[in-house]
Chains A and B, each alone.
Chain A
Amino acid sequence: MSKTGAEILVECLKKHNVDLIFGYPGGVLLHIYDRLFDSDILHVLPRHEQGGIHAADGYARSTGKVGVCFGTSGPGATNLVTGIATAYLDSVPLVVFTGQVSTNLIGGDAFQEADIVGITRPIVKHSYLVKDVEDLAPTIAEAFHLAKTGRPGPVLVDLPKDVIAAKSKNLCSTDIKLVGYNPTYEGHPMQIKKMLKMLENAKAPVVLIGGGVKWSNAHEELKKFVETLNLPVVSSLMGIGAFPNPHKNWVGWAGMHGNYASNKTLTEADFILAIGTRFSDRTTGRLDAYAPKAKKAQIDIDPTSIDKNVKVDIPIVGDCKTVLNQILNYIKDFNWDKCKNDREDWLKKIEYWNNERPFSYKFSDKIIKPQFVVEKIYEVTNGDAIITTEVGQNQMWAAQFYKFKDPRQFITSGGLGTMGYGFPAAIGAKLGNPNKEVFDIAGDGSFLMNMQELCTAVQYRVGVKVAILNNKFLGMIRQWQHLFYNKRYSYSCLECQPDFVKLADAYGCVGFQVVNPSDVEPVLRESLKIKDKPVLFDFLVDREENVYPMVPAGAALNEMIYGEK
Chain B
Amino acid sequence: MRHIISVLVENKFGVLARIAGLFSGRGYNIESLSVNATENEDISIMTIVTRGDDHIIEQIIKQLRKLVNTIKVRDVTQVDHIERELALLKVHATQRTRPDILSIIETFRGKVVDITKESLVVEITGDQNKLNAIINVLEPYGIIEIIKSGTIAIARGNKSTTDFTKQDIKSQEE
Contacts and interface: CB of A to CB of B under 8 A. Distances in A.
B127 to A, nearest CB: 30
A197 interface: no
A146 B69 CA distance: 12
B68 A303 contact: no
Interface stretch (B12-20, B108-116, B152-160): B12-20
Contacts of B17: 118, 121
Contact of B13 (A122, A131, A308): A131
A179 B10 contact: yes
A304 B62 contact: yes
Contacts of B172: 177-179, 182
B25 interface: yes
Contact of B65 (A117, A128, A129, A303): A303
A420 to B, nearest CB: 24
Contacts of A126: 68
A117 B13 CA distance: 10
Nearest to B9: A180
Interface string B63-105: 1011111111000000000000000000000000000000000
Contact of B70 (A127, A146, A180, A302): A180
B18 A121 contact: yes
B117 interface: no
A41 to B, nearest CB: 27
B14 A179 contact: no
A180 B21 contact: no
Interface residues of A, number: 23
Contact of B62 (A146, A178, A303): A303
Interface residues of B, number: 27
B13 A129 contact: yes
A178 B68 contact: yes
Contacts of B147: none
B47 to A, nearest CB: 17
Contact of B63 (A131, A180, A304): A304
Interface in A307-326: 307-308, 311
Nearest to B67: A180
> Which residue of A126, A128, A179 has the most chain B CB atoms within 10 A of its CB atom?
A179
A503 to B, nearest CB: 40
> Which residue of B13, B17, B55, B72 has the most chain A CB atoms within 10 A of its CB atom?
B13
B59 interface: yes
Q: Which 5 A-B pairs have the closest CB atoms?
A: A180-B71, A126-B68, A304-B62, A122-B25, A180-B70
